[in-house]
Structure 1
Amino acid sequence: MKVIVFGSRHKVDQAESISQFLIALSGVCKLVVERKFNEFIHRSLHLDIDTSVLDDDIPLDVDFVISIGGDGTFLRASHFVGRKEIPIWAVNSGRLGFLTDVDCSEAVNLVGHLECGDYNIESRSLLKAQVGKDFTGYALNEVALMKRETGSIITIDTYLDTDYLAAYDADGLIVATPTGSTAYSLSVNGPIMTPDCHDFILSPVAPHTLNMRPLVVPDDLTLSMHVYSRSESFLLSLDGKAYPFSCGTPIEITKADYVVRTVKVSKASFADTLRRKLMWGANVRQG
């Protein structure tokens, strides 16, 4: 097998488990590693394993992409893969790692499952954001429309297809996928959705009226928006990467025509993940 490896270079406290995992991988796979993480492997971890450096193009014969880190590393890998839909196995060496499948220490003993095909593939929907005629971007977690200055709010006129929904007076508006329901949207009290839902979440950020609540809508709708602000500009954020635009520029957000395919090696369910990583249902009153 041939795999592409993305990784975080900031997890020196996880050096031993990362090293053991990479050694196990190199025993069954040809490793193509992003340049900076490849330097980390050989210079910081001092591993004597055979690797090649990833160029800008994805090799045609790649079987999997593996991300070693947290959710940010996984998002970086998914954006690199794009519409090629190569399966991604996300291994956690960070803190929460909600999008990851297993921790690095567990993954060492699961490498053989890739080789023998003992895994499942899950599909995650993405958002497509079209801003004006010249900008198109994609997001796995969320598209966020945000104000630029701290002093003034923005107004976001929002339509569901051609049906007018509301003018959101707020610091921003998040449009999240089911995958992104546990990310930025959750921090502003948006609902959690299971990854197989076919919906999007609209979650206002610091709305200036109390009757603006998160809203779940079908993902086959086109969300049309116009932003207005005293500053005459706003920020559009795709999975945390922000771009400035002039107010009044038309925005359309739809479901993308491709998906992110994730490798599920562990047997943990989404409910297991909620309980383990978000303390779902934990009795916090116990001393």
Structure 2
Amino acid sequence: MIKKIALFGNKIKPEFFGYFLILCNKLIEEKVEIYIYKTFLENIDEEFSKILNVNGTYTCFYDLNPDIDLMICVGGDGTFLEAVTIVRTLNIPIVGINSGRLGFLTNISKNEIEASINSIFEGNYNIESRYLLELTSPSPLFPDFNFALNDITVHKLDTSSMIEINASLNENFLNCYRADGLIVSTSTGSTAYSLSVGGPILLPDANGFVISPIAPHNLNARPMVIPDNYIIKLTIQSRTENCLISLDHRSIAIDSSAELTIKKSSFSIKILQCPDNNFFSTLRQKLMWGVDARN
């Protein structure tokens, strides 16, 4: 039974006020304890904070109540990825309500809020486990949280010179990618940046990674699917001193001589899915499969 809810988001757009009010009223109706991300609470309208009767706030992983039963993330996919950095290893399921644009991860639309919340409190939902990518290097690059749910990307820092990325799988040399960059994505992230550069779509339970070059110099350098138990090692060469590395929405400049190791995480993120919002329905809706542009 769900008794404690964490609300996560950044802000509520004026056009979403009415839908957020529906969510607030449903949570009040269910008489759950509500804990809200402090920045979110500061950014929402004062009337909402009065209605919610908040039991507590949190700012990060370290002060989030581990007894939370469910985190409701309000925003777009970027907001959902931020929520992952808060939940981490706590095994708190996350469900996403889309107030943004595309929304593969935040797949409950504004018109589905009431029905979806009802389903959740009736116990009519599924929990999916999604593994992450773990990044390591001789010098820690993201010491607080070196994991990504969608993808890890190495990218040139300037606008002119491409970079060379030597990739090995389980200590076996794979290829030298001469390109603007390289994306390593999870099956969850296969519908994100990787898809935009021509990578394939993987089902969430496909247990694979996708390696996708960005604007490769050689046209025969194609996206590749590998088992998710492989260890990927990348070494970079560049005419400039630095290149860019991104873990989902977080990016830093790193030394071009860096050595990177990428592997499957030892823990997973739990994502709550309502029956009417499975992966296939999300694909059809977001990619407009079956829609005839002539109509």
* TM-score over 0.5 for the pair: yes
Compare 208-217 and 23-32 and name the one that shifted more: 23-32
Separation (CA, whole Å) in 1 of partners of 2:20 and 2:282: 22
Query: What is the identity, as a one-letter code, of the residue corresponding to 2:160?
Result: G
Deviations 1:110-149 (A, max 9, x none): 3233333221101112100112243351000100001111
Residues 1:25 and 1:50: Cα distance change in structure 2 (over 3 Å): same
Equivalent residues, number:
286
Normalising by structure 1, what TM-score? 0.94
The answer to whether residue 273 in structure 2 is matched with residue 268 in structure 1 is: no
Deviation of the 1:10 alpha carbon? 4.5
Query: What is the identity, as a one-letter code, of the residue corresponding to 2:19?
Result: S
Deviations 1:180-239 (A, max 9, x none): 111111111111111111100011011111111111111100001100101022111000
Deviation of the 1:65 alpha carbon? 0.7
Consecutive unaligned residues of structure 1, counting only runs of 5 or more, are none
Separation (CA, whole Å) in 2 of partners of 1:148 and 1:26: 48
Consecutive unaligned residues of structure 2, counting only runs of 5 or more, are none
Deviations 1:36-83 (A, max 9, x none): 211233427575220132243111321111101111111111111011
Normalising by structure 2, what TM-score? 0.92
Separation (CA, whole Å) in 2 of partners of 1:45 and 1:7: 14
Q: Report the equivalent of 1:237.
A: 246
Identical pairs, percent: 37
Q: Report the equivalent of 2:67.
A: 61
Q: Secondary structure at the match of 2:51?
A: coil
Deviation of the 1:99 alpha carbon? 1.0
Deviation of the 1:88 alpha carbon? 0.5
Compare 88-97 and 275-284 and name the one that shifted more: 275-284
Root-mean-square deviation (Å): 1.6
Compare 130-139 and 73-82 and name the one that shifted more: 130-139
Separation (CA, whole Å) in 2 of partners of 1:185 and 1:250: 22
Q: Secondary structure at the match of 1:274?
A: helix
Separation (CA, whole Å) in 1 of partners of 2:280 and 2:120: 24
Residues 1:133 and 1:46: Cα distance change in structure 2 (over 3 Å): closer
Q: Report the equivalent of 1:126.
A: 132
